[in-house]
Structure 1
């Protein structure tokens, strides 16, 4: 195997970020009790063998800081920091502080969010280019290899290849992963998010998945991407057809989840950021039993 082969690049990224990570919007507690549980939970994730923990939703760098402090090896990434909410200069400066205390352990995930969620949303591609320029030109620049973009469409994927370490697509299929790998080329880091409902009752698993999907289907960035993949408006009705759910999510028992993960790896993913859903709809509930079960099944 030569050093330029796709497999060797996958191995390099896997050595850096691990084969699996955990993505969760619940990794941002708002109470002292929640912060204590967070410390215990991320320490366990590190011990279980996960390579990266992703602060989900629209986090700030302040959300990432306690994850770095609580651990010693696991990488910490934002999934995804909105370019509209934080200036590039302040982001670069805070990451430089992270680097001093936790060298090599932080990855900046950047995204343009959505029109419905960001009042200042306009010309997202140009805005991302300008933001990356500002990171390059900051007093403490952030190197391209320390940032990753929430890229879905062809233009943003190309930008992720040329101006960042790669792409962290959210709510995608193995088919999109294959297209993303082709667009990015063999060298880039490709780390899709994969939502998991670990439940052998498929009807119940789909019900949980539909509750989550209903939040995202009104957002055109996602539905436009799904339309490009061959889904239709009919697939978006009633919070998602079975066909759409089965393509986007890993649903079922450990064997079914493992098979879906392997589809993503075969399509070109270096790393999967797993988001575990449960019937517990509390925003700050940490699905620790599911994280343990997924580690046992997939690591």
Structure 2
């Protein structure tokens, strides 16, 4: 069993303040990590700030904070604040996000994603170490920025990485990589590029129900929403799913979402969505680790059941 076993917070339909009971219980259940996300729900930092006080032994991580939606200085301040509240227990995960989130929802320009991520990483390294930063990076400039509250220690920084370019950057300059939407059998290909040493975390979508058709129906909705985004489409081309997913892409491009969902084979859904009994789900998550993943981060999909009881049932054995 891996030494790390993570869960994504907050849970769908549960008020933030109501998470306290379960978050306090997570370490006793065997969970080592709580990771957040940032799309159009909570921001990435606030749930972790609460968790830092409710469960002082949990490691906390953002997976991920977009590099475009905050200015460099604000991103450094947000990270430093959480690092101060959870000294030695916070991991800052950053990444590009997507044009929909960056441009459509946040009125920022989504350009040069590799370079912007690299430059943000280099700025954050300097800023979180307490340096006064005046630098003209290729994608932005910073003048005379210095944190007033320097975190001790500075948090590790991990990069959202899907394909070789970003994986190699993560291996060379960051403290690890965060990946997404992959099957256990895909992990060795990612690990081969990243190398054997850096931490590799992945969010794993888990639907703890033995109603396979219901799980696959939900899985198809998610897969057509995510894997039609260009960066994920290219990721799965690289992983070898270009041909099997071509009918989905064709239907999606024609504006027929129903046909796009129907075109996703069961085998793809079963590869990418963990479903079944809690014991079967736990074993499937463990198979990611057996294939080279360092940190599995369970993302609980709604089944109509009690999410707290499901999290308890998915505890590591």
Instruction: Give the whole-Å Cα distance in 2 for the aligned partners of 1:162 and 1:286.
Output: 42
Shift of 1:145: 6.6
154-163 vs 39-48, greater mean Cα deviation: 39-48
234-243 vs 177-186, greater mean Cα deviation: 234-243
Instruction: Give the whole-Å Cα distance in 1 for the aligned partners of 2:76 and 2:13.
Output: 21
Say if 2:216 and 2:269, in contact at 8 Å, map to a contact too.
yes
Any idea what the Cα deviations from partners look like across 1:56-88, whole Å, max 9, x if unmatched? 234342342112122210011111111111233
Shift of 1:28: 10
Shift of 1:89: 2.4
Any idea what the Cα deviations from partners look like across 1:135-160, whole Å, max 9, x if unmatched? 12326368897111110010000111
**Is residue 174 from structure 1 mapped to residue 184 from structure 2 by the alignment?**
yes
2:209 corresponds, among 199, 207, 220, to 199
Unaligned runs of 5+ residues in structure 1 are 1-10
Q: Aligned in 2, Cα 1:88/1:219: closer, same or farther, shift over 3 Å?
A: same
Shift of 1:235: 5.2
2:87 corresponds, among 103, 107, 118, to 103
Instruction: Give the whole-Å Cα distance in 1 for the aligned partners of 2:298 and 2:95.
Output: 18
**Is residue 128 from structure 1 mapped to residue 128 from structure 2 by the alignment?**
no
**Is residue 65 from structure 1 mapped to residue 42 from structure 2 by the alignment?**
no
Say if 1:217 and 1:223, in contact at 8 Å, map to a contact too.
yes
**Higher relative contact order (CA closer than 8 Å, sequence separation 6+):** 1
Q: In the alignment, what sits opposite 2:269?
A: 245
Provide the secondary structure at the position in 2 that maps to 1:209.
Answer: helix
Relative to its length, the structure with more helix (as a share) is 1
1:224 corresponds, among 223, 226, 234, to 234
**Is residue 44 from structure 1 mapped to residue 25 from structure 2 by the alignment?**
yes
Instruction: Give the whole-Å Cα distance in 2 for the aligned partners of 1:72 and 1:287.
Output: 22
**Is residue 267 from structure 1 mapped to residue 291 from structure 2 by the alignment?**
yes
Q: In the alignment, what sits opposite 2:312?
A: 292
Relative to the length of structure 1, the TM-score reads 0.83
Q: In the alignment, what sits opposite 1:148?
A: 158
Q: What do you get for the CA RMSD once the two structures are aligned?
A: 2.5
Q: In the alignment, what sits opposite 2:6?
A: 21
Q: Aligned in 2, Cα 1:184/1:261: closer, same or farther, shift over 3 Å?
A: same
Shift of 1:110: 0.7
